[in-house]
Amino acid sequence: MGGGTYLGKLRRVLQLADDSGQGGQYLRDVDPLAQLAQAPRRPPRSDVALAGALALWGVAEAIPSWPGAVFAVVTSAPLVVRRRLPLPVLAVIVAALLIRAVTVDGPPATVAPFPAILVAAFSAALHLRRLWLAAGAWAVAVGGMVGAIALRFYDDRPDPGSALVMVFFVTGAWTAGRLLRRREVQLRHAEERTKERAREAVAAERLRIARELHDVVAHSLSIIAVNAGAARELSTLDPDRARDHMDAVAGTAREALIEMRHLLEALRDEEDDPLAPQPTLDRLPDLIDQVRTAGLPVRLTEHGDRRSFPAGLELTAYRIVQEALTNVRRHAGPADTEVRVTYHPAELGIEVINGSPQAGPDLAGVGAGHGLAGMRERARLYGGSLDAGHSGDGGYAVRLRLPAGTP
């Protein structure tokens, strides 16, 4: 079977990987609940429309009281940026309510800003990542409503029953926002798992294709060896038959070169630049910056005098650090991580150590995947060793040793 057929299979697998990776984004684009959880830089039209509708409602109730109309606008307009600044928006609305409750004479004939507080409490629960901040937002919303009732903003006589009803609605809005946030987190994790499975499928298909092509190339080389030996034996006895054998050698060699080119194309990562220089240890700071930008708090420390190593050894060390940091992000989340590079006279030492996972421990699979096995294989190719295991503080450590004199 030719290399073109293999590459056709690979392209189909890669297309499936792309489709799988885009599935989560498609769901975010068409699911109304997923759209609520998004926080774009520019306020969406729906938020502007919501703030405008609540402002018009409040103004209509407040007329002919112009201070009441201004109050309605002040407590509704901040909702435009409720996704990007949920806690400040809620604080502004509650502060305006309490100031109005202190300064107004008698309860106004309006429900504002109760609807705005419900929307703000929902947004804070949905868009605040940390639970304690979201709980603080709930306390601010409930405190504002209870304070307004105690200051006789809604009634001349404070009514505990009314307070309980308002607290119930605020709590309901807050709970709905928190449940939607949990759904969004689960959706994101499912999307990441889908992408990971797609990448694993692509890697498995590449490996299978490479093995099949290896068999084809090995068969071609055996044919070349047989024909070359026959041509040498017949070169003086039967030159015509010897030429036939050499023609077979030439044709088989051309086919083997084509298969080998397909093999390299199958193994090459689609993101690799074939003309780019291979990374070395000098590129480690760039790698650290890239990973840090992606959300992993990592630092690089170097000990000893920097010396030059064989290009293959430096590439091996760089790839192992890259894979180790990928494993930290995948299994430990935004855990504090340190990359230590030590230049010994006779060896190169590298340690990648991360602290306790920040988003729930998921270290069970760190030592069992293909990534760690690949790192150990890279180290063995250069006569080195790689140890990996749990550290004493609940984290994980990968330690690499490579002989400095490896040719």
| Per-residue model confidence as pLDDT tens for the chain (407 residues) | 444 444 455 455 545 445 444 445 544 554 566 667 777 788 888 888 988 898 888 888 878 778 888 888 888 899 999 888 999 999 999 998 888 888 877 666 677 788 899 999 999 998 888 889 989 999 999 988 888 888 888 777 767 887 888 889 999 999 998 998 888 888 888 878 877 887 787 777 667 666 666 666 666 676 777 778 888 888 888 888 888 878 877 877 777 676 666 666 655 655 555 555 678 899 899 888 887 776 778 999 999 988 888 877 888 898 899 888 888 877 777 788 999 999 988 899 999 998 877 544 444 344 444 467 778 878 888 889 999 888 777 788 999 999 976 44
Sheet of 347-354, strand order:
298-303, 337-343, 347-354, 396-403, 385-390
| pTM (2 d.p.) | 0.49
Instruction: Retrieve residue 329's tokens.
Output: 């992000």
**Among 287, 293, 299, 399, which residue's Cα sits nearest to residue 352?**
399
Domains of the chain (ranges; CATH) run 31-158 (no CATH), 281-403 (3.30.565.10)
Torsion over CA of 300, 301, 306 and 308, rounded to 10 degrees? -40
**Among 98, 166, 97, 90, which residue's Cα sits nearest to residue 135?**
90
| 210 to 172, 227, 319: CA distances (angstroms) | 57, 26, 21
Q: For 270-342, where are the alpha helices, taking DSSP H only?
A: 284-293, 311-332
Neighbours of 113 (CB within 10 A): 26
Q: Are 387 and 372 in contact (CB under 8 A)?
A: no
